[in-house]
Structure 1
Amino acid sequence: MDVKRPNPALWLWYAVGGKLPDRYREWVLHDATVPTWLVRHVIRRIVFLAPILALLYLVLAVWLDFDLMIVLVGLGLGVYTGMYYSLIFSTHSVDSRVTRHGYPDQYASQVRKALKQAERERYNARWRNGGAPSL
């Protein structure tokens, strides 16, 4: 799929929840429907959490001089909790992102489901229904 990718500044805006210009609509759908969509979602969440974690570290460990181990454990638990809830709601979050860019509600989930079904049918046609493998 040949789609126009956003530049790094626009991608950062997109990663923290911003809406991209309409010329990137196809890329947003591509981003939400490729087989690695969940990895991309996790990367966006890490980019979102990184400045918050850095600020908390600076305030707690540097400015208030808390014990470093306590700060790191607290930040680690914060990352765990943030990623846990992000993954629970990942499908809804990605569908909402696609809807914000002009596609119908739950369109990304429907596209992913159709792509998975097509892949399953290709696999079954080749390996389950007597298709001979090519050499």
Structure 2
Amino acid sequence: MQRPNPLQWVLYAFGAGLPASKRDWVLRDVTARTWVLRHFARTTVQLAPIAVVLFVLIPGPVWVRACAVLAGLCIGFFYSFAYMYETTEHRAMKAGFPRGTVAEVRGESTAVERAEAEERYNERWRS
């Protein structure tokens, strides 16, 4: 599995597709145990330049500019959170996977984790 270089990752964070050789990495990126953190890292990369530009361009005292930018960031992260399942599914489809692959892979890993947790529970409390 090949990871993208930093420039490719930044472009990927902004929605660009990756080469076919990175296809497996994209699926891992959107289905790994830390996929939510990865999603918010991509969102932060998308919102940071806009936040800096707005902070510099908005007139007024620093605290007003900071509050305005912070409010905008809150809205941006809210929408990112609201659409994170659809966004990750779209990224996988852009990499060439059929619709539903992300949910299927996450479901398999969740089932394995659930079975392991049940086994630990039974060993501890049912024996």
* Bin for the TM-score computed over the shorter chain: over 0.9
Aligned counterpart, 2:116: 122
Q: Runs of 5+ in structure 1 lacking a partner? A: none
Is 2:53 the counterpart of 1:55? yes
**Is the 1:96–1:106 Cα contact (8 Å) retained in structure 2?**
no
- Once residues 92 and 110 of structure 2 are traced to their aligned partners in structure 1, the CA distance between those partners, rounded to angstroms, is 19
1:67-98 superposed Cα distances (whole Å, 9 cap, x missing partner)? 21111101000010100110011011001110
1:100 aligns with 2:121: no
Shift of 1:123: 2.2
**Partners of 1:30 and 1:46 in 2: how far apart?**
20
Q: Give TM-score, length-normalised by structure 1.
A: 0.87
Shift of 1:108: 0.9
Gapped runs of 5+ residues in structure 2? Answer: none
Partner of 1:73: 67
TM-score (norm 2): 0.92
Of 20, 37, 40, 2:38 maps to: 40
Once residues 113 and 18 of structure 1 are traced to their aligned partners in structure 2, the CA distance between those partners, rounded to angstroms, is 27
Counterpart residue type for residue 21 of structure 1: P
Give the residue type in structure 1 aligned to 2:105: V
Partner of residue 88, structure 1: 82
What is the identity percentage for the equivalent residue pairs of Structure 1 and Structure 2?
A: 31
What is the SS of the residue equivalent to 1:104? Answer: coil
Number of residue pairs matched by the alignment? 124
Across the aligned residues of Structure 1 and Structure 2, the Cα RMSD in angstroms comes to 1.2
Q: After the TM superposition, which segments of 4 or more aligned residues of structure 1 sit over 6 Å from their partners? A: none
Task: Give the counterpart letter for 1:104 in structure 2.
Answer: P
The separation in 2 between residues aligned to 1:58 and 1:91, in whole angstroms, is: 33
1:127, distance to aligned residue in structure 2 (A): 2.8
